[in-house]
């Protein structure tokens, strides 16, 4: 699926970058092929416009912030968060032309990230109940550009059958390639998938899992949020530790995405350091990245149009595809993909 060619995808919220990235001035970002500029207003909230001055088409991300507004670095034309030009230095006493504006986008902060919807959103930013909950700490982990599609990323996130191969060097059990089955329930945001998975527990993961058992278990309550977010709701029954990851696969264009990932744990820094948690998940994430970048990013959602072979264990990916296809059809769209 060519994500830039599916208008309905513009009607969802996407996590773009940590708010801290805006501390030193405006930043560019490409979302679904749309070049935008982000900046932080005087009250600390974010704003987003098309990254193009209406005067001489210079990138506004090359400019600077002045109060609540963004100033073009070419001639100083100044825009508010609605995209209206509010100052033309070369014509300070004259009226500003009514057409002097640039498109503005829905923008807000949540979970420490800037979120943007390019068109009127169909639903709010997903609710992640661990954020701010007593006993949980939030850890920012990864903000990486991947050469793959968000559909591939979402499929892989629910694919337990790759553990024995892609992750055989750490937690995967090589001689147990058959994945544990999921119990599925569809929701208004996507679906919830529950399972319990046996994993290897080498010495370097003892502080992650909270146990020294050579083989331990993960109880997973995973959730898929249309179109490209997921919850990896991992609990280790042997220790009572929760290791809950949220991924946002934010589409840059038809071949690239940004992985935005953060973690919630119900332990302390003394139990397991932030750096240890980042390092452990970095190894696993890099293995996923390597294999996904070796796949075709143009995923065919409607398998009636192009054959792609599936096993029964691929059910999560098929449900993701079915829900995405239903979303397109509900808004009068057909899947666009390379032929």
pLDDT at 283: 95
| 69 pLDDT above the threshold of 80 | yes
Q: Give residue-wise pLDDT tens across range 225-245.
A: 999 999 999 999 999 999 999
- Tell me the whole-structure pTM to 2 decimals: 0.94
Closest CA to 222 of 289, 138, 156: 156
CATH topology of domain 137-330: Naphthalene 1,2-dioxygenase Alpha Subunit; Chain A, domain 1 (3.90.380)
pLDDT at 312: 64
What DSSP character marks residue 101? Answer: B
Determine the Cα–Cα distance for residues 229 and 6; give it in Å rounded to an integer. 17
Closest CA to 117 of 174, 200, 34: 34
* Average pLDDT taken over every residue of the chain: 94
Give the model's confidence band at 304: pLDDT under 50 very low, under 70 low, under 90 confident, else very high.
confident
What are the φ/ψ torsions at residue 203 (nearest 5 degrees)? -55, -35
Strands (E) located in 226-315: 229-236, 241-251, 257-265
pLDDT at 200: 93
Who has greater pLDDT, 166 or 301?
166
Q: Give residue-wise pLDDT tens across range 88-100.
A: 999 888 889 889 9
For the chain, the distance separating the N- and C-terminal CA atoms, rounded to the nearest angstrom, is: 10
| 17 pLDDT above the threshold of 90 | yes
Q: Is 112 within 8 Å of 19 (Cβ atoms)?
A: yes
| 212 pLDDT above the threshold of 70 | yes
Q: Enumerate the domain spans of the chain.
A: 3-117, 137-330
CATH topology of domain 3-117: Rieske Iron-sulfur Protein (2.102.10)
pLDDT at 154: 95
């Amino acid at each position: 699926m060519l994500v830039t060619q599916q208008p309905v995808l513009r009607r969802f919220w996407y996590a773009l970058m940590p708010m801290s990235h805006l501390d030193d001035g405006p930043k560019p970002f490409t979302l679904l092929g749309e070049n935008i500029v982000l900046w932080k207003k005087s009250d600390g909230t974010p704003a987003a416009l098309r990254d193009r001055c209406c005067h001489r088409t210079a990138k506004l991300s090359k400019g600077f912030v002045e109060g609540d507004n963004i100033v073009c670095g070419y001639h100083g034309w100044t825009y508010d968060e609605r995209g209206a030009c509010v100052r033309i230095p070369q014509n300070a006493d004259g009226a500003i032309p009514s057409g002097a504006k640039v498109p503005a986008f829905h923008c807000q902060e949540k979970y420490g990230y800037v979120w943007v919807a390019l068109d009127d959103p169909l639903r709010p930013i997903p609710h992640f109940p661990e954020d701010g909950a007593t006993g949980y700490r939030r850890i920012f982990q990864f903000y990486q550009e991947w050469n793959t599609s968000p559909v591939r990323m979402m499929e892989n996130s629910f694919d337990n059958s790759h553990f024995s191969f892609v992750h055989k060097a750490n937690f995967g059990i090589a001689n147990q390639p058959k994945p544990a089955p999921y119990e599925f329930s569809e929701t208004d945001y996507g679906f919830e998938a529950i399972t319990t998975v046996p994993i290897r527990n080498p010495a370097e993961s003892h502080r992650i899992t909270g146990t020294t058992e050579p083989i331990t278990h993960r109880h997973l309550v995973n959730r898929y949020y249309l179109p490209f977010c997921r919850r990896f709701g991992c609990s280790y029954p042997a220790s009572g530790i929760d290791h809950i990851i949220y991924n946002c696969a934010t589409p840059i264009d038809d071949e690239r995405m940004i992985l935005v990932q953060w973690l919630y744990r119900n332990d302390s820094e003394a139990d397991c350091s932030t750096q240890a948690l980042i390092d452990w998940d970095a190894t696993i994430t890099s293995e996923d990245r390597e294999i996904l970048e070796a796949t075709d990013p143009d995923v065919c959602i409607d398998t009636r149009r192009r054959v792609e072979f599936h096993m029964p264990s691929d059910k999560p990916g098929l449900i993701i595809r079915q829900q995405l296809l239903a979303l397109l059809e509900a808004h009068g769209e057909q899947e666009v993909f390379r032929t």
